[in-house]
């Protein structure tokens, strides 16, 4: 709350992060207070906040209020993938699989482009969630399930990952079966609760050409971190691809500026020449909602700022 007061422009993502941590710590009433605080203003994404609030309320016994909020979201045309994913997962978590499938399907039909177009990451998560619920219901594959299978990047196929019979294997004492289940769970964690973690992705720090030159002129101690600007950009792309291959969700890039970095260092009572401060600075920018999602669509401008399509810049194989 103190940090949100210091940075009013970043208030919404910071309070969303705080609410998520309160939920994880089991202090759900305080998380609800934060959601209400956000909704009392003019939030950028009220539907997502309402969905998160409903999911939180249901978890500590306020089912009627949670259902009323979810019904309000479902009465509107789908406009935000995150809000509808949280709403569907709240229903799924309480064994309302038919209702969850209906919410997922409406969102997919409204927000997923045709199979010939590139599917943004939030829409891919909707497809995966819909696939999971339909598998639990024993429904056959349709075109959207086929698309979900095609887009899935994990080492474990979606059909196996979402197999209801997996629950029976959890009581096994066979080391091989348990190891296989750990692999499945790791793959599943890569796409679980994407909407909840959206406001604070894992982000790498990008210095534009001019900013990097200014940074190294002021703090030559950091030259070992950034031999050249081209190597800096190539290293970001390589690291992001490695994280994606390991199943890390919600990757992004944040742009640094020297004045902002110096202000951050001062707030931490540290020297800007200290290289260990750089990842902390990137994390702080990401928590304030400054991250650009990675990877961009292949036809969209590259994250590096070159204005070339990603597929013709750092998105080449």
Least confident of 231-235, 244-248, 258-262: 244-248
> Angle of helix 46-59 relative to helix 81-93, nearest 10 degrees?
10
Q: Which domains does the chain have, with CATH numbers?
A: 45-197 (1.25.40), 202-312 (no CATH)
Query: Within 10 Å of residue 301's Cβ, how many Cβ atoms?
Result: 14
DSSP string of the chain, one letter each residue = -HHHHH-GGGHHHHHHHHHHHHHHTT-HHHHHHHHHHHHTS--S-HHHHHHHHHHHHHHTT-HHHHHHHHHHHHTSPP--HHHHHHHHHHHHHTT-HHHHHHHHHHHHHHHS--TTSPPPHHHHHHHHHHHHHHHHHTPPP-HHHHHHHHH--SSS-HHHHT-TTHHHHTT---HHHHHHHHHHHHHHHTTTTHHHHTTS-EEEEE--HHHHHHHHHH-GGGGGT-S-HHHHHHHHHHHHHHHHHTT--SEEEEE--HHHHHHHHHHTT--TT-TTHHHHHHHHHHHTT-PEESSPPTTSBPTTS--SBGGGTTT--
**Comparing C-alpha atoms, which of 86, 94, 4 is closest to residue 50?**
86
Let me know: does 96 contact 67? Beta carbons within 8 Å: no
261: number of CA atoms within 13 Å, CB side?
A: 26
pTM: 0.62
The predicted-structure confidence for 280-310, as pLDDT tens digits, reads as follows 899 888 877 778 889 988 888 999 999 899 9
The predicted-structure confidence for 134-146, as pLDDT tens digits, reads as follows 988 889 999 999 9
Say whether pLDDT at 159 is over 90: no
The predicted-structure confidence for 74-125, as pLDDT tens digits, reads as follows 999 998 888 999 999 999 989 899 999 999 999 999 998 875 567 887 788 8
The predicted-structure confidence for 37-50, as pLDDT tens digits, reads as follows 999 988 888 999 99
Token pair, residue 253, equals 């890039």
Give the Cα separation of 313 and 311 in Å (integer).
6
Mean pLDDT across 198-208? 79
What pLDDT shows up at residue 197? 42
Give the Cα separation of 187 and 66 in Å (integer).
30
Exposure string for 243-255, b = 16+ CB within 10 A, e = fewer: eeeeeebbbbbbb
**Comparing C-alpha atoms, which of 301, 261, 304, 262 is closest to residue 283?**
261
Mean pLDDT across 212-240? 95
Q: Which residues are paired to 252 by β-bridges?
A: 203, 293
Question: Which position has the higher pLDDT, 52 or 153?
Answer: 52
Token pair, residue 79, equals 């406009």
């Amino acid at each position: 709350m103190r940090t949100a007061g210091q940075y009013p422009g970043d208030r919404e993502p910071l309070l969303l992060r705080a609410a998520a941590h309160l939920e994880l710590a089991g202090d759900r009433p305080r998380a609800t207070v934060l959601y209400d605080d956000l909704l009392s203003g003019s939030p950028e994404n009220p539907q997502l906040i309402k969905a998160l609030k409903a999911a939180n309320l249901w978890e500590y016994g306020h089912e009627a209020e949670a259902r009323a909020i979810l019904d309000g979201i479902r009465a509107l045309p789908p406009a935000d993938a995150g809000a509808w994913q949280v709403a569907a997962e709240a229903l799924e978590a309480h064994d309302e699989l038919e209702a969850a499938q209906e919410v997922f399907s409406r969102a997919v039909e409204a927000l997923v482009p045709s199979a010939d177009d590139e599917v943004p990451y939030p829409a891919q998560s909707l497809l995966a969630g819909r696939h999971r619920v339909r598998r639990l219901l024993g429904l056959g594959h349709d075109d959207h399930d086929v698309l979900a299978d095609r887009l899935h990047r994990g080492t474990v196929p979606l059909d196996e990952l979402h197999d209801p019979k997996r629950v029976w294997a959890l009581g096994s004492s066979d080391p091989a079966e348990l190891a296989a289940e750990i692999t499945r769970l790791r793959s599943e964690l890569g796409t679980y609760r994407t909407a909840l973690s959206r406001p604070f992705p894992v982000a790498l720090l990008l210095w534009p050409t001019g900013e990097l030159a200014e940074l190294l002129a002021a703090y030559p101690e950091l030259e070992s971190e950034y031999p050249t600007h081209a190597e800096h950009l190539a290293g970001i792309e390589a690291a992001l691809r490695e994280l994606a291959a390991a199943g890390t969700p919600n990757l992004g890039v944040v742009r640094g500026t020297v004045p902002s970095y110096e202000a951050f260092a001062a707030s931490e009572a540290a020297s800007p020449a200290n290289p260990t401060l750089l990842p902390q600075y990137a994390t702080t920018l990401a928590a304030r909602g400054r991250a650009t999602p990675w990877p961009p669509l292949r036809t969209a401008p590259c994250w590096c700022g070159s204005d070339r399509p990603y597929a013709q810049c750092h998105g080449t194989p």
